[in-house]
A and B are shown apart, each in its own frame.
Chain A
């Protein structure tokens, strides 16, 4: 039987081992943080949500039965948390989108040492993607982001949202096409980003 460090850590987490939780955080924290950022939360809010998520995991992980799809499960919990937060904000202050707070992300990105032209171009690209994502309805954006960061299959997304798989496919297709169209409108070549890195917090 293959050694599965994730399964071992999950078992440790279920026993209440904090170090195992910290390990999970190291493994998934950055991806989850980006997930929250892309859902339009400001950097401080995304950090708070990340913390809330792991505190929630302290309780929820006991109910998790490891079947090799921990990512999907974790990101579904994260999506539920983000959705609850979104609803809470909408009820509280009628804020439907966090666009005003999104400027925090923009500022953070722009302030990340825009010396090299490639870096600047990358920031424009990130900005452009954020713009394109913001144009999607919240539910569709969540679906795209959940698929992208959580690596969920269409079937898993369909199960999570209790939607027919055809609907999920159509929504993902339409939304991604929309994003591509917006991003390709500028007709700029997409740079080879693999060599480029930017720091949200340099």
Chain B
């Protein structure tokens, strides 16, 4: 291995060592390289390489591999779309179905279902408006969130009314 001479210049530029130190180090390395070179005489049976070559010839081509991957990607995408579609249908807010005028019992069931739907929607609206009302009723102060100020009088009653008062020292 004769990288050493070629690399000396590069190494001198990048390392904070003087030329002699680098030469010494590289000489050591070269001795190690030579030793490795001398001891490395494992001869590989050509049959082994031929065996691997034969398996390589049988391996799928990169194009077919890529094409296979592309089909897999398309299949995965299609499956994902189907799942998304399914989930969308599942969580879509229910809407009253069209009323069929042909059958009276059918019509009755439809109306009952619509009524039920309307009640549920009203209840939801009431809950929401109640929450909003409570929220607007609370007397929010910066103090309630950041904690009591050190200066000025504290009003424990005001603090007590707030649902977000948190742990406090009551004077």
- Chain A interfacial positions (CB closer than 8 Å to B): 16, 18, 21-22, 25-26, 29-30, 33-34, 37-38, 47, 50-51, 54-55, 58-59, 61-62, 109, 122, 125-126, 128-129, 144, 147-148, 151, 153-155, 164-166, 169, 172-173, 175-177, 179-180, 183, 190, 193, 196-202
Contact A183 B43 (CB under 8 A): no
Contact A25 B56 (CB under 8 A): yes
**Alpha-carbon distance A184/B64, docked complex (angstroms):** 53
Q: Which residues of B contact A200 (CB under 8 A)?
A: 42-45
**Alpha-carbon distance A90/B152, docked complex (angstroms):** 65
Secondary structure dominating the interface of B = helix
Partner of B29, one of A34, A51, A172: A172
Count of A-B contacts with CB under 8 A? 141
A166-B15, A173-B28 given; A196·B41 CB < 8 A: yes
Contact A47 B39 (CB under 8 A): no
Partner of B40, one of A47, A59, A129, A201: A129
Q: Mark B113-125, 1 if CB is under 8 A from A, else 0.
A: 0000000000000
Contact B31 A180 (CB under 8 A): yes
Contact B52 A25 (CB under 8 A): yes
- Distance in angstroms from B147 CB to nearest chain A CB is 48
Contact A34 B42 (CB under 8 A): yes
Which one of B5-13, B86-94, B101-109 is at the interface?
Answer: B5-13
Contact B41 A197 (CB under 8 A): yes
Contact B29 A176 (CB under 8 A): yes
- The residue of chain A having its C-beta at the shortest distance from the C-beta of B62 within the complex is A58
Contact B28 A177 (CB under 8 A): yes
Contact B56 A55 (CB under 8 A): yes
Contact A59 B39 (CB under 8 A): no
Partner of B42, one of A37, A59, A190: A37
